[in-house]
Structure 1
């Protein structure tokens, strides 16, 4: 007997694989970022590996300060580059978006590296200040 979830992942499995909360995944569905590829007979969200890959892209963008609108635009650009019927003009525009977002990601990553460095410096300072002298 075939289960209607064969080949699909349920939302809990997707949450575990992506390290996103169920609430976050549902929110991304509601705002149209990543919608489940199917629903079970009971109405439960069912996801494919491609859906998981999209969620992972979003998860990578989130700490870099991308807005939901930017996330959606980036995913649409990726889709445009992957689709067969995309015109050369559409491909050019999609590639331009990806370059713009790559630069933003690079700048955000550098900012986060600086913040991490400051946090490590503070940790070292506090460790040095709280170390007990040895007798």
Structure 2
């Protein structure tokens, strides 16, 4: 095993994802281990960790596995050393921009939800502050 490869436990610790979740993303075809040890253990690289972090960041925003797969495929192709036609490059960039806009909209929605939750918690604190002690 090369020093550049990590076992799944180290990847789990670095990404704060469970072993089960990482295996699920492997089964779903989102992150394939870069190698296997002689004993058959999954081995990952920094690029795999980066890919898992993209997935981890998309998950709380409600992106589906298929949307994650689509974004990863687009960025993989953009990062590839294989030549792109101008049309293909433009289409891929537009697809990634669409994900950026969707992420911004979802973040704004979450911020609004958080603000409502904080208002609610403040209302409860104020209400409790006005109640007589038992």
TM-score by length of 1: 0.91
CA RMSD in angstroms comes to: 1.4
| Post-superposition offset of 1:133 | 6.1
Gap runs ≥5 in structure 1: none
Partner of 2:31: 34
Is 1:124 the counterpart of 2:103? The answer is no
Residue aligning to 2:108: 110
How far apart are the structure 1 equivalents of 2:28 and 2:36? 17
Q: Give me the whole-angstrom Cα distance separating, in 1, the residues matched to 2:93 and 2:80.
A: 13
Cα separation, 2, equivalents of 1:44 and 1:93: 37
Of the candidates 2, 6, 16, which is equivalent to residue 9 of structure 1?
A: 6
Does the 8 Å contact 1:34/1:55 carry over to 2? yes
In the alignment, structure 2 segments of 5+ residues that lack a partner are none
Task: Give the paired residue count.
Answer: 131
Q: SS state of the match for residue 60, structure 1?
A: helix
- Shift, 1:90, TM fit: 2.2
User: What CA distance in whole angstroms lies between the structure 1 residues aligned with 2:128 and 2:28?
Assistant: 48
Asked if structure 2 preserves the Cα contact closer than 8 Å seen for 1:80 and 1:90, the reply is: no
* Pick aligned residue for 2:51 from 51, 54, 59: 54
Alignment deviations for residues 68-100 of structure 1 (CA, whole Å, 9 cap, x no partner) = 111011011111111121322321121011011
Residues 37 and 48 in structure 1, CA contact (< 8 A), matched pair in contact too: yes
Secondary structure at the aligned position of 1:27 is classed as helix
Question: TM-score of the superposition, structure 2-length normalised?
Answer: 0.92
Distance in 1, matches of 2:62 and 2:91, equals 22
**Deviation beyond 4 Å, 4+ runs, structure 1:** none
Counterpart in 2 of 1:99? 97
